[in-house]
């Protein structure tokens, strides 16, 4: 009898300990389209380590890389509805819902990556972060994504004239569709994961992205001509479901914000190294890099501004960005 009683108490104790341990840790989920090791994935993982350490293990993070939870449009819906708590995505798919994200997506608005950093780290960046709230999201951080450029399987691009009639996949945003149209080419928005096979089978001639994406998604295997036109220097955004963020204590909210801020420095460092590495990889694999006449591309972009920078808020933001030295 005594034995059984002891045994039962033992079970009760063990299970209460287990429940206690499970309740003490909330595991949050975050999505990323890129493979493990990519600078955005590593930036978010670092954020996860920091929140775990600074909340003494009360919070932990699982990063689902390689689009395991779906393509960006889908994971944006998942994070908005709270199915997942966090998501690292490009800002372009938000252009239709968070109008302030149009500004950093505009072609040739940022003069350099330094200029972009100054803007996004300052009051305009804060204004863009705030604009995510009505969409049910807290923008925790902006990460680097370098400059996007066009690549294709058909021919080298040296000027806007060479773009004529080519078919490009663009990221899912009307600005990008109009940008390609303004260059005399045709745009097809489609999920990132479909680009490789669409180029391979000739549905499109190419796409547009930075060196690390061109490299890790292996697009260089099917589209060898990479033109360094650098049409946008569009940063990434790391967002959290707002209801999940609001549930945190004020102290934990501070921990999350500071951890996100600390992860930015880490991601930027990893990013710079990855751009150099990816460029070497694609060149060694036979990619032909051209440096087209950029002024022609810049001049062609007026209709994009005329169509998308229409309201006063955006006009002022564009002027503010241009005024940042």
Stretch near ligand GTR under the rule CB under 6 A, chosen from 209-217, 219-227, 254-262, 308-316: 209-217
Here the tokens at position 204 are 């499109």
User: With respect to ligand GTR, which residue has the nearer C-beta, 103 or 170?
Assistant: 170
Tell me how far, at minimum, the Cβ of 12 lies from ligand GTR, in Å: 48
Considering only 152, 210, 216, 232, the residue that binds ligand GTR (CB under 6 A) is 210
Q: How far apart are CA 238 and CA 5, in angstroms?
A: 52
Closest to ligand GTR by CB, 27 or 276? 276
Name which of 59 and 230 has its Cβ closer to ligand GTR. 230
**By CB under 6 A, what part of segment 179-208 binds ligand GTR?**
192
- The CA distance from 254 to 29, in Å, is 19
**Is residue 152 a contact residue for ligand GTR (CB under 6 A)?**
no
Give the nearer residue to ligand GTR in terms of CB position, either 33 or 225.
33
44 contact partners, CB below 8 Å, separation of at least 6: 30, 32, 61, 63, 86, 88, 238, 263
Tell me how far the alpha carbon of residue 99 is from its chain's centroid: 17
Return d(Cα 88, Cα 278) in angstroms, integer: 21
One DSSP character per residue, 67-121 reads TTT--HHHHHHHHHHTSSSEEEEESGGGTTTSGGGHHHHSTT-SSSHHHHHHHHT
- In the block, residue with structure tokens 């691009």: 157
Q: Can residue 171 be called a binding residue for ligand GTR (CB under 6 A)?
A: yes
Q: Considering only residues 41, 89, 102, 160, which one is a binding residue for ligand GTR as defined by CB under 6 A? A: 89
Which of residues 55, 101, 213, 216 is near ligand GTR by CB under 6 A? 213
Given 30, 42, 47, 72, the residue binding ligand GTR (CB under 6 A):
72
The answer to whether 205 and 152 are in contact (CB under 8 A) is yes
Q: Does 209 bind ligand GTR (CB under 6 A)?
A: yes
Find out whether 143 and 32 touch, Cβ atoms under 8 Å: no
Residue of 33, 198, 263, 278 interacting with ligand GTR (CB under 6 A): 33
Q: Cβ closer to ligand GTR: 210 or 241?
A: 210
Residues that bind ligand GTR (CB under 6 A): 33, 72, 89-90, 145, 171, 192, 209-210, 213, 236
């Amino acid at each position: 009898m005594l034995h059984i009683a002891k045994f039962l108490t033992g079970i009760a104790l063990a299970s209460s300990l287990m429940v206690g341990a499970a309740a003490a840790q909330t595991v949050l989920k975050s999505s990323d389209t890129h493979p493990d090791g990519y600078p955005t994935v590593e930036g978010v993982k670092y954020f996860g380590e920091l929140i775990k350490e600074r909340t003494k293990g009360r919070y932990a993070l699982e990063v689902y890389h390689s689009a395991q939870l779906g393509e960006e449009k889908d994971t944006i819906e998942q994070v908005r509805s709270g199915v997942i708590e966090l998501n690292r995505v490009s800002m372009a798919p938000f252009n239709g819902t968070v109008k302030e994200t149009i500004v950093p997506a505009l072609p040739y608005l940022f003069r350099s990556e330094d200029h972009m950093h100054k803007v996004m780290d300052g009051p305009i960046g804060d204004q863009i972060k705030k604009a995510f709230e009505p969409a049910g999201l807290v923008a925790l951080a902006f990460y680097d994504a370098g400059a996007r450029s066009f690549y294709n399987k058909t021919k080298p691009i040296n000027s806007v004239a060479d773009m004529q009639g080519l078919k490009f996949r663009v990221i899912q945003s009307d600005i990008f569709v109009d940008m390609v149209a303004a260059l005399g080419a045709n745009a097809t928005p489609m999920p990132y994961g479909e680009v490789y096979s669409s180029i391979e089978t000739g549905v499109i001639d190419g796409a547009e992205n930075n060196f690390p994406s061109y490299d890790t998604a292996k697009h260089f295997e099917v589209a060898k001509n990479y033109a360094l036109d650098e049409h946008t220097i569009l940063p990434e955004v790391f967002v959290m479901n707002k209801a999940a963020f609001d549930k945190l204590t004020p102290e934990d909210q501070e921990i999350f914000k500071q951890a996100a801020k600390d992860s930015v420095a880490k991601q930027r460092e990893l990013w710079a190294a990855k751009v150099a590495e990816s460029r070497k990889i694609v060149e060694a694999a036979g990619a032909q890099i051209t440096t087209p006449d950029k002024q022609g591309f810049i001049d062609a972009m007026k209709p994009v501004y005329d169509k998308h920078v229409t309201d006063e808020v955006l006009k002022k933001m564009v002027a503010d960005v241009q005024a940042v030295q």
